[in-house]
Structure 1
Amino acid sequence: MARYEEVSVYGYEEFMQAVEQHSGKTIFAYFSGSKDAEGKSWCPDCVQAEPVVREGLKHVGEGCVFIYCQVGEKPYLKNW
């Protein structure tokens, strides 16, 4: 069983709401390119990093919060 709470959000607004809701707790945030219907991110770096991040979560203290934030689709972000 996980020692931390995982919260999945989409975009900046939801991320900030999650941070506010968990005020006072240790928060770990992971930002990833949005996933498709099969659960795969369009971002190859995110695909490689996620298993490493999840392995690291095995070592966090009890009561921490992990916020998984999907940041958007590639065409949207490409225009920034």
Structure 2
Amino acid sequence: MAQYEEVAVHGYDDFCQAVSERKGKDIFVYFSGNKDARGKSWCPDCVKAEPVVRGQMTHLPEGSVFIYCQVGERAYWKDSTNDFKKTLKLSGVPTLLRYGTPQKLVEEECLKAELVRMMFTED
């Protein structure tokens, strides 16, 4: 039995709802480009980073929440006024963040297992 809850969401509204339903918990969010019918994201870095992040999930704190959020299609992501960029101040995908803290790994940082593990294990 996993010691954390995993939630998959699509888009900003689903993301906000998932977070609001889990207030008070330690929340980690992985933002990725949308996947096609074959399960492959339009974002090549996201494809490379996902197995690295998933490989470190055994280090997630007890009782925490891991949200896998697909940010949308490439055209939506490239729009500088999308909610992820405007409200959450995301600059790239993949992004892994500890919600409510300044802790954030962006793009190639998500490919480094030791950085991902540090995010999951350090306060």
Q: TM-score scaled to structure 2, two decimals?
A: 0.61
Show the counterpart of 1:50.
Answer: 50
Cα deviations across residues 17-64 of structure 1 (Å, max 9, x unaligned)? 111101111001000000001111110010111111111211112211
| Equivalences for residues 22-61 of structure 1 within 5 A | 22-61=22-61
Q: Which has a greater percent of strand?
A: 1
For structure 2, which runs of at least 5 residues remain unmatched after alignment?
81-123
Q: Matches of 1:2 and 1:53 in 2, distance apart? A: 16
The amino acid across from 2:59 in the alignment is H
- Residue 76 of structure 2 corresponds to 76
Give aligned-pair identity as a percent: 66
Moved over 2 A (4+): 75-80
Q: Find the residue that maps to 1:23 and give its secondary structure.
A: coil
- Equivalent residue for 2:9? 9
Q: 1:8 is paired with a residue of what secondary structure?
A: strand
Matched residues in 1 for 2:31 and 2:61: separation? 21
Q: Any idea what SS the aligned residue of 1:68 has? A: strand
RMSD of the alignment, in Å?
1.1
Which sections of structure 1, spanning at least 5 residues, go unmatched? none
Cα shift at 1:76: 2.4
Q: Secondary structure at the match of 1:45?
A: helix
- Give 1:71 shift: 0.4
